[in-house]
Amino acid sequence: MATKAALRRRILNIRDSLPPLERKTCSETIAVRLMALPEWNQAKGVFLYVSFRSEVETQYIIEAALEQGKVVAVPYTDYERGVIVPSVLKDLKYDLAPRRFGLLEPKDTSLRPLSPEDIDITVVPGCVFDNRGGRIGYGMGFYDRFLPDLPGSSLKVALAYEIQIVPLVPLDAHDCLMDMIITEKRIIAISS
């Protein structure tokens, strides 16, 4: 079995080579699937990553969630403590600025921490996934440290292109499983 690092590199190379129009079309399909979920409609608080580079795009989802009156939080990365702080987003255009690696995150003046207890759905980024809910992130462990703080009722959903799904992801003891993975072709619901 390939190591996590090798699998991450291989799948990211494939993902990065997807034509922009294909990424956009697939992202729109994935967004529609996510927002058609009954859990989405019932959710009051949602935590969404702000898409970066070739990730499944989340801007449309964030805008729609704000229009639907949901409490929308996005990650603020506290690199010194090694943790993600969910921060309530009021305005996609004015609350965010590029931080480390060029990731759009809340400005210090826009930081509004949200308790994990108030998050009904967490939308998780990643590089590689499998049908068991296994996930390989970007190798820094931020989400694997954050996800256990969520209430058990909070749905953990990964958004991925179908090309990011592999037969088996090598997992370590600290790796958190997803409850659901949504691609442009299907919804993979993981039974616990």
Q: Does 63 have pLDDT greater than 80? A: yes
Q: What confidence score (pLDDT) does residue 192 get?
A: 62
- Quick one: average pLDDT of 3-27? 96
Condensed to tens digits (0 to 9), the pLDDT of residues 99-119 reads 988 899 999 999 999 999 999
DSSP code, position 53: T
Mean residue pLDDT of the chain comes to 95
CATH topology of domain 4-189: Rossmann fold (3.40.50)
pLDDT in tens, 113-145: 999 999 999 999 999 999 999 999 998 889 999
Q: Which residue in 174, 171, 157, 177 sits closest to 61, CA to CA?
A: 157
For the cut 90, the answer to whether the pLDDT of residue 33 exceeds it is yes
DSSP-based three-state secondary structure for 12? helix
Q: Tell me the pLDDT band of 24, cut-offs 50, 70 and 90.
A: very high
Place of tokens 């370590």: 172
> Is residue 65's pLDDT more than 80?
yes
Closest CA to 75 of 65, 64, 83, 67: 83
Q: Kindly state the average pLDDT of the residues 149-167.
A: 96
**Considering only CA atoms, which of 42, 45, 43, 97 is closest in space to residue 71?**
45
Which amino acid, one-letter code, is at 26?
C
Strands (E), 91-143: 96-98, 104-106, 121-124, 128-129, 135-136
Output the pTM of the full model.
0.95
What is the 8-class DSSP label of residue 177? P
The pair of structure tokens assigned to 173 is 């003891």
**Residue 92 φ then ψ, to 5°:** -60, -35
* Residues 178-191, mean pLDDT to the nearest whole number: 96
58 — phi, psi (to 5°)?
-115, -5
Distance of alpha carbon 88 from alpha carbon 47, whole angstroms: 9
